Every structure is written in structure tokens, then in C-alpha cells.
Structure 1
Amino acid sequence: MTRHPRRRRVTTGTVAVGIVLALAGVLFAANARLAQGQDSRAPQDLSDLAVAASDRLAKLTTQVDALRADVEQLTAAQVPASAAADDAQTSLVELASGRVAVAGPGLTVQLTDAPADSLRQAGVRPDDLVVHQQDLQVVINALWAGGAEAMSLQGQRVISTTAFRCVGNVLSLHGRLYSPPYVVRAIGDPKKLRAALYASPQIQVYLQYVDAVGLGWNVTASSTLTLPAYEGTTDLQYASVPAGIDVLKSTADLPTTRPTSTPSPTAASVPSATSEGSPSAQ
């Protein structure tokens, strides 16, 4: 039998074309099935994807703005009470630490050395005529005990870290030196402050020396006293507040230290400077 090569070539090309068409049909069918399984609104190109992402971002931004507005509204509703509490706490801390100037009714106590001619009296020593550290301490402690809310000494604010000492007849306070008269000012109920002063046994001893040798003593009530703010540092290096202690308690509730009681001198003779009964003994 005679073969026809040309016919074979035609048959082979036809088969190849058929295979290609079949594969194309399979691909189109698969794409159609995939398209049917997706949301018809989903974009199929980059441009549509960008538009869809932008729309979604706009919706989320709107939700965030709404939630932020709710948070701000709730926060604003809580601010008044919270701010008032913070302000009250800050004011108490500043008052207790002496960081702000204060004003109010109170007492002014002035102590002065006795005149030098008192030495002519029998039994009187030079040390008996001088106001000493002990005398100032009992005055300040009595005023605290009487409910003083703020105090100053020689025009400087007295705070929890204040320490003063006498060197001879000179007072050293906050790095400065002062000579008499010594002036203590305290803000509080004037009647209670005065009662606390004269109820102190140590002050009663001092008052006997006022009568005996002429030590200076003057107490004046004022409707308004103005005390300056403390200008130094309040940093503590070694002291800390014990656990369970409320640091915001009123200064009237703070514990005070009192010097030991001393016996009163007799009217007939004034004890010497080294005597245990002398108010000027340091």
C-alpha cells in the first residue's frame, strides 16, 4: 500500500491544536468555578484592590474615631473628682513640707535676753540672763502641741527637718546666725496656742526667770499672720517614712518631742548656770 506523508502531517497538527484547545477549555472552566466561589464584589485587579483597601481603611478610621470620642467622654466625666483629689493631696504635701507661703490667725512669741544689770542680784550668773536653745525648743514644742499648723522662727519657715542650735547667745538656723530677740510665729487657733504655752511646765520655769532676772517674754495674738515658704532643700538622705504611717496627717497630729521637766527655782535665790533647774542650761 502506498503511504501519503502529507496526510500524516496534517493529522498530527490537528491533534496538537485539539490538545491546546482542550487545555484552554479546562483552564477557562476552572477559572469560572473559582470566580463563582468568591464574592462577586471582590476586585480582580490591583486598581480595584487599592480602592477596596481604601474603603475598608475609611470604615475602620470612622470606628476608631467613634471609640476615641467615647473614651474622651468617659475620661472627661471622671476628671473633676480625680483632679480635685490630686489638688487636695498636693496642697497637703506642700503645706506639710512648707513649700508654700501661708497666712492665718495665730500667735507671735518673742524671747529676749535679760538686761545686764540683773547681774547685781545675788546668785545670778551671766548664763541666767541669756535665752538659750532649750527655751526656744519648749516654746516651739508647746505651739505644735497646741495645734499650730505652720510656724516660723526668725522669719524662716520651720519644717520637719529644721534644726537650730545656740552658740553662746547666737542662734544658728538654716545656715544663718541670729541675735536676740528671738521671734516665733505660729498659725492656728490663738486661744488654743496660748493655752498650750502656759500649760507647759518648762515655760512656767522660764516665766519664773522672767520675773526674777528680767528675761524677755511677750505673746501677741494676731488675726492674720503671713509665714514665708521654706526656701531650702527638703531632700532626706537617711530618713524614710515607716510602713503604715500616713504622711499627709495634719501637723497638729504629728508627734512632738518635749524636753524633760526641770524643777522651779525658789523666789529667794536664782540657781546657777550649771544647776539642773536653770532654764538657760543647754
Structure 2
Amino acid sequence: MADSSPADRNPGLLAQFLLPRRRPGRKPGWSAIVPLVVVAAGFLFATTASTARGTQLREDRRVQLSDAIRQRQADVARSEKRAAALRAEVEDDTSRQGRNDARVRDQQKRADGSKATAGLTAVHGPALTVTLNDAPRQPDRQLPTGATADDVVVHQQDVQAVVNALWAGGAEAMSIMDVRVISTSAVRCVGNTLLLSGQVFSPPFVIVAIGDRGRMNAALDTAPGVRAFRAAAKDWGLGYEVKEDDDVRVPAYHGSSSLSDARVPR
């Protein structure tokens, strides 16, 4: 028979290895921490109750955020109005200077000849109007079976797909939400809102393009991004509509046309 191990001969020895050791005469750390946690929690509850004053803090924050957004939108609108007035003053001063300076007058004529191409004059003609919209909300706020929140809203790439397809189809002039699109325009979305030329728009997003309607329709039919959105419209109820018009006016671009940076194409 094999000799018994030290643990077999002395069961208390095994217990010494398995159980954590404590220094004699020292209390567990929790005995000191628990009262501090209780006091801190009580202080937080009292502060929250005092701040809320019977209201729900989350709802108050949403209201404050909505007010802040509206205030910023109003600030942007005032700034845009002021910028437009300053640009008009510059144009007037330049025109007066051109009457007495042949060099300024020549440059004015050159600039005027490029205004139409740059999108700085209003145009009209036969057009396609493409409307993209979020899926309608269900009364119980439930999503369609198998859909996620991203599936039922219009995204930046959806708007860009339509815009790029219309340009590829020979569009001569274009507007989004009645804002003229020029070479420096950028389509950006935050959530389901569209940012364009410093303005914020909510769906439905309306895109108008003047040009050969047959070519533009064909470009929409073959564009992969547009076809993907059409499939999503069938699956999740998104809005997609194309309408032909014989004569539509597209406004001139009124924002800043200055470039902050540029890169030479390779």
C-alpha cells in the first residue's frame, strides 16, 4: 500500500491551501467600502431628485436638444441671408468699378459667359423628377417582418445613386429640394435628414434634373445603386417615384462658390 500524502494525514493542511488567507486581526475590505457606496448612492439619488423636480430628465434633455437644433438652424439661416447680402454688395461694387476700368470689365464679361455652365443662372426645360421617401411608420411602430431600422429610411448613398445616374444620363441642370446642384455641392445625410448647402431637409427628398428624359430614365434603370433602392422599396415600403415634366424651372445657385481646396486629377 502506498504511503498516505501529508494532506491525507492532516485534513487541515488541505484546507489551508484551498481557503484564502487573511491576516489575523484585519477586517475584510468590504466592511469599509459598503458604507461609502451607500452614502454615495444616497447622494446621487438626492441630487437627481432635486434636479428633476418631479420631471423626467431624459424627456427634458430631448426638449433642450430640439430647442438647440432649432436655434442653430435659425442662426444658419441668418448667416446665409447675411452672406447673400454681402455677395450682392460685392457684385454691385465690382459692376461700378467695371464702368471705369477696362480690365475689370473684361473679366466681368468672361465671368458672365461662364455663369450658365457653373449653375449660377436659372434654367428651364423638360425634366425628370425623382422622389425618395422613408417607409411609412406602422401604427404600432413595429418594423416590417425581417427589416431593421436602417432598411426603412433613405440613406446618403441612395440620394447619391440617383444624382450620379442622372448626371450619367446627360442631365444638364439639377436641383435637390429646390437647391441648385453645382460642381462643389456635396450630398450628406445625418440619420434620415439631408444636409445640402448649409440647410437641413427631411424626406421626402425631391430631385429634379433637366435634360433628355429618355437617356436619364435609361440611366436610372441600369444604375446598380438605384436598382438596389427600388428592390428595397418593394421589400420594405420605401417611396420611389419618377415623374416626367415638359417644362420645369431649376433655380440658380445662390450660395458661396469659393473653393477651400482642390486637387489636380491624374
Rounded Cα–Cα distance in structure 1 between residues aligned with 2:164 and 2:172: 12
Q: List per-residue Cα deviations over 1:201-248 (Å, max 9, x = no partner).
A: 1111111111111100110011111000000111113226669xxxxx
Pairs aligned (count): 158
Residues 1:155 and 2:167 aligned together: no
Match of 1:227 among 235, 240, 250: 250
Rounded Cα–Cα distance in structure 2 between residues aligned with 1:130 and 1:149: 29
TM-score normalised to the size of structure 1? 0.52
Of structures 1 and 2, the larger Rg is shown by 1
Are 2:170 and 2:216, in contact at CA under 8 Å, matched by a contact in 1?
Answer: yes
The one-letter code matched in structure 2 to 1:134 is Q
The one-letter code matched in structure 2 to 1:200 is A
**Which residues of 2 match residues 241-252 of structure 1 at below 5 A?**
none
Q: Which residue of 2 aligns with 1:145?
A: 168
Residues 1:176 and 2:204 aligned together: no
Are 1:97 and 1:234, in contact at CA under 8 Å, matched by a contact in 2?
Answer: no
Q: In 2 relative to 1, CA 174–103 (structure 1 residues): closer, same or farther, beyond 3 Å?
A: same
SS of 1:237 mapped into structure 2: coil
Q: Which residue of 1 aligns with 2:154?
A: 131
Are 2:160 and 2:187, in contact at CA under 8 Å, matched by a contact in 1?
Answer: no
Rounded Cα–Cα distance in structure 2 between residues aligned with 1:92 and 1:156: 22
Q: CA deviation at 1:164?
A: 2.4
Rounded Cα–Cα distance in structure 2 between residues aligned with 1:92 and 1:130: 41
The one-letter code matched in structure 2 to 1:229 is A
Are 1:96 and 1:159, in contact at CA under 8 Å, matched by a contact in 2?
Answer: no
Q: Specify every segment of 5 or more residues in structure 2 that has no aligned partner in the other structure, as ranges.
A: 1-105
Return structure 1 stretches of 4+ with deviation > 4 angstroms.
Answer: 89-92, 240-243
TM-score normalised to the size of structure 2? 0.55
Rounded Cα–Cα distance in structure 1 between residues aligned with 2:128 and 2:265: 32
**Which residues of 2 match residues 178-257 of structure 1 at below 5 A?**
178-239=201-262
The one-letter code matched in structure 1 to 2:135 is A
Q: Which residue of 2 aligns with 1:20?
A: none
Q: Which residue of 1 aligns with 2:87?
A: none
CA root-mean-square deviation? 2.3
The one-letter code matched in structure 1 to 2:155 is H
Rounded Cα–Cα distance in structure 1 between residues aligned with 2:202 and 2:144: 24
Q: Which residue of 1 aligns with 2:114?
A: 93
Q: Which residue of 2 aligns with 1:39?
A: none
Q: CA deviation at 1:150?
A: 0.5
Q: In 2 relative to 1, CA 92–199 (structure 1 residues): closer, same or farther, beyond 3 Å?
A: farther
Q: Which residue of 2 aligns with 1:107?
A: 128
Rounded Cα–Cα distance in structure 1 between residues aligned with 2:265 and 2:113: 19
Q: List per-residue Cα deviations over 1:46-89 (Å, max 9, x = no partner).
A: xxxxxxxxxxxxxxxxxxxxxxxxxxxxxxxxxxxxx9xx97x7
**Which residues of 2 match residues 46-125 of structure 1 at below 5 A?**
93-117=114-138, 119-125=142-148
The one-letter code matched in structure 1 to 2:122 is A
Q: In 2 relative to 1, CA 197–91 (structure 1 residues): closer, same or farther, beyond 3 Å?
A: farther
Rounded Cα–Cα distance in structure 2 between residues aligned with 1:194 and 1:92: 31
Percent identity between the aligned chains? 46
SS of 1:160 mapped into structure 2: coil
Are 1:146 and 1:193, in contact at CA under 8 Å, matched by a contact in 2?
Answer: yes
